[in-house]
Chains A and B, each alone.
Chain A
Amino acid sequence: MLAFTLKRLAGVVPTLFILLTATFLLVHLAPGSPLDGDRPMPAEIRANLEAKYHLNEPLIQQYGRYLLNIAQLDFGASYQYKDTSVNDLIATGFPVSLAVGGFSLLFALVIGIPLGIIAAVRQNKIADYLAMGGSLAGISVPNFVLGPLMILAFAVYNDWLPAGGLGGWQNYVMPVLALGTMYLAYVTRLMRASTIEVLRSPFIRTARAKGLSEMRVFVVHVLPAALLPVVSFLGPGAAAVLTGSVVVEQIFGIPGLGRFFVTAALNRDYTLVLGITLFYGIIIILFNLVVDVLYGWLDPRVAYR
């Protein structure tokens, strides 16, 4: 198990390296300099700024400096918010995004897992058809469609929930529903499919042949095996939720990291866009690592392969 964990950890290194190198090269291949603004800049000021951002150094030296900074988790200063570092912006924005994304994923799991099990156990009955039809609809409605529609229904036509901003728990209801619904639909379908598959497998027949209670068969034999696909969904699922929160924060005016990211992208704030991409890249890679190790821990066959 330890060897397996270490091996996975080592596997992350090239991925991180490629993430860093690719972003660095992208930035330097891009046409024009980040200093090109709307107005031409006096040569002297330009030289000063270039020196400040080390743009005058040879590429390889810049690359080394870049790696060094990121190794210290220093993402530099924002071009747009002059006196704020990217780190500060991440520190303010990420907890908000994490709350919205975390609750959405939790919502999807807490409702989707039981719903998928019910659909599987009542396969081809009404409950199953309802859950499957509903989840197919859920998969087909993007969050940027669901969000505005919910605002229309719950904030404009009825005054039940705040349309945006951050305050009490009420502010989280619509964003979490808008973001979580699609993943709820995925988890439901996934859980249904895997439960059906496990219920059919020979080892469940063995468990029944031992005279165990249905409860024990389900909790000890069916559930852990059926949950495995959901666990491996957590990696891509978390990446998707972080990506989705970019839109949801935009719709509901939530001051999270995703909102900073879009604003920075629209204003061509190079360092902030780069910093957030790197930050999210690292987060997602590390999260995938955790999920991988967790999976290996849950499924003994993986770790020994």
Chain B
Amino acid sequence: MTAAVWRKQRALRAASGNSLGRDAWRRLAANKAAMGSLAVLGAITLAVIIGPWLSPYDYFSQDYDAIWQAPSLANGHWFGTDQVGRDLLARTLAGGRISLMVGIVTTLVSLVIGVSYGAVAGFVGGKTDALMMRAVDILYSLPFMFFVILLVVFFGRNLFLLFAAIGAVSWLDMARIVRGQTLAIKSQPYIEAARMAGAGTTRIIARHVVPNLAGIVVVYVTLTIPQVILFESFLSYLGLGVQPPATSWGALINDGTGEMSIAPWLVLIPSVFLAVTLFCFNFIGDGLRDALDPKDR
């Protein structure tokens, strides 16, 4: 997971300094792999949102008359059932809801933290900046996965803590990049002009610095969401993430691993959903990088 952070840094660096103009969008639209991934991701998201309403089964009701049903269209359990007769389709969709929600909410939280922190550090500059960035460096070198598990152990397992813990460690890249951008933008003449006209620091950040970051933010979001999804699945797989009856893809894979030799679909189906989702995000992230930085092709 730390490696994902690292890959993200490189992509962000490629994206920084390149604006998300019309050319970039056109290049992205011409990228079939990225567009296909976007479509698949849209379909998964839609299924996860409206699917549970359409499904005749819910994700927690047990049915001992229908345990270990293999996937089939005939019996109504398209993805089969588990060892207590719960419908796997309903569980996969419910799990996807949690996985995607954790991914999106946490990414937004970390985005807000990262942008504000980085913009403030870059804009204030001097000693404050040095100190703030030193703090980021230190946080970087801590073994954050172990830290999150430590948090979970000492403060108990709950979804909110999960958001907070993951969000608290994902903002670091954003802070760094935004600071760099802010420093670059700060020396532009129009900022000087705004300052001369008497605009306050906050106002300058909000009006001039933030809008210039659109390209990076898009890349950041595309690459952070899968990272957070992976992170949550990891914790849930270990039994330290979402707690029953709630479920997520990682938790489903964990449940399925135990029944693997009897009912392989229990591990295969959520695995495919998770892998395909991550694959799509990665493809879009790559496509965006190439669109913003075409010389890299």
Which single member of B10, B138, B267, B279 contacts A14 (CB below 8 Å)?
B138
Chain A residues with CB below 8 A from B10, complex form: 190, 193
Q: How far is the CA of A274 from the CA of B233 in the complex (A)?
A: 23
CB pair A15–B141 under 8 Å, yes or no, is: yes
Among the listed A149, A247, A277, which residue makes an inter-chain contact with B146, where contact means beta carbons less than 8 Å apart?
A277
Contact B275 A144 (CB under 8 A): no
Residues of chain B with a CB closer than 8 A to A186's CB = 3, 6-7
Question: B271 at the A/B interface (Cβ < 8 Å)?
Answer: yes
Known: A149-B271, A240-B3. A23 touches B138 (CB 8 A): no
Interface centre among B6, B137, B271, B282 (most CB of A within 10 A): B6
Cβ-closest chain B residue relative to A182: B3
Most chain B CB atoms below 10 A, which of A18, A19, A142: A142
Q: Is the CB of B233 within 8 A of A240?
A: no
Dominant secondary structure at the A interface: helix
| CB proximity to A under 8 Å, residues B228-264 | 230, 233-234, 237-240, 250, 253-254, 256-257, 260-261, 264
User: Does A250 sit within 8 A of B, measured CB to CB?
Assistant: yes
Q: Which of B254, B268, B278 contacts A140 (CB 8 A)?
A: B278
Q: How many residues of A contact B (CB 8 A)?
A: 59
B58 at interface by CB-CB < 8 Å: no
Question: Cβ of B155: which chain A residues have Cβ within 8 Å of it?
Answer: 30-31
- A18, A26, A265: most-surrounded residue (chain B CB, <10 A): A265
B201 close to A (CB within 8 Å) = no
Q: Which of B7, B234, B240 lies in contact with A265, CB distance below 8 A? A: B240
Chain B residues with CB under 8 Å of A151's CB are 260
Q: How large is the interface on B (under 10, 10 to 19, 20 to 34, 35 or more residues)?
A: 35 or more
Residues of A within 8 A of B279 (CB): 136-137, 140
Contacts of B261 in A (CB 8 A): 152, 156
Complex CA distance for A262 and B235, rounded to whole angstroms: 10
CB-based contact A141/B143 at 8 Å? no
CB distance from A36 to the nearest CB of B (A): 12
Instruction: Decide yes or no whether A96 CB sits under 8 A from chain B.
Output: no
- Is A247 a contact of B238 with CB atoms below 8 Å? yes
CA gap between A22 and B141 in the complex, in Å: 13
Point out residues on A near B: beta carbons under 8 Å.
14-15, 18-19, 22-23, 26-27, 30-31, 124, 136-137, 139-142, 144-145, 148-149, 151-152, 156, 182-183, 186, 189-190, 193, 196, 233, 236-237, 239-240, 242-244, 246-247, 250-251, 261-262, 264-266, 268, 270, 273-274, 276-277, 280-281, 284-285, 288
15 contacts between A and B (CB under 8 A): A15-B141, A19-B142, A30-B154, A136-B282, A139-B282, A140-B279, A144-B233, A144-B237, A144-B253, A145-B274, A186-B7, A237-B6, A270-B154, A281-B143, A285-B141
